[in-house]
């Protein structure tokens, strides 16, 4: 079910894609990086979802900032998978998507921080 929030939808779909990748990695007996990847990738969407119910603008920025950190960690694990040749599974599409997600979240945080600063003047 799609919501009307693009980043909520994108991070949810990305989590589903990473769950599929995780299963493939497990079948190839790659257990360490796959678990790290699963944790960080699914945490992105969870934090974005939490941000939608933030108690304040500052709380919203805080939750989105956590999502940003998790997204960057996810990118790290994907880059390790790609460059280490631990697996032959293609991850470039996932890398492209996480880069896009990072860019969107960064813009959301910058805009929200500007709005906070403007209301404090």
Percent of the chain with pLDDT over 70: 96
pLDDT 10s digits, 12-58: 999 999 999 999 999 999 999 999 999 999 999 999 999 999 999 99
**The CATH number of the domain where 90 resides is what?**
1.20.1440.60
Domain membership of residue 47 (yes or no) is yes
- Gyration radius of the chain over CA positions: 16
Calculate ∠ Cα 70-38-11, nearest 5°: 55
Q: How far apart are the first and last CA of the chain?
A: 40
CA pair distance 78, 14, nearest whole angstrom: 13
pLDDT at 14: 98
Note whether 79 and 26 are within 8 A (CB). no
10 HSE (CA, 13 A, CB side): 17
Domain membership of residue 51 (yes or no) is yes
State the pLDDT confidence band at 121, using cuts at 50, 70 and 90: low
Domain membership of residue 1 (yes or no) is no
Find the domain containing 36 and state its range: 6-120
pLDDT at 101: 98
Domain membership of residue 50 (yes or no) is yes
Number of domains in the chain: 1
State the pLDDT confidence band at 99, using cuts at 50, 70 and 90: very high
pLDDT at 85: 84
């Amino acid at each position: 079910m799609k919501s009307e929030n693009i980043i909520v939808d994108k991070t949810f779909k990305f989590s589903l894609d990473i769950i599929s990748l995780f299963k493939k990695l497990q079948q190839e007996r790659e257990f360490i990086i796959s678990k790290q990847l699963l944790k960080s990738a699914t945490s992105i969407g969870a934090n974005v979802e939490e941000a939608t119910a933030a108690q304040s603008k500052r709380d919203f920025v805080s939750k989105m900032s956590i999502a940003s950190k998790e997204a960057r960690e996810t990118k790290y694990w994907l880059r390790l998978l790609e460059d280490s040749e631990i697996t032959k599974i293609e991850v470039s599409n996932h890398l492209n998507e996480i880069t896009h997600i990072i860019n969107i979240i960064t813009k959301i945080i910058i805009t929200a921080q500007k709005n906070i600063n403007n209301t404090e003047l």
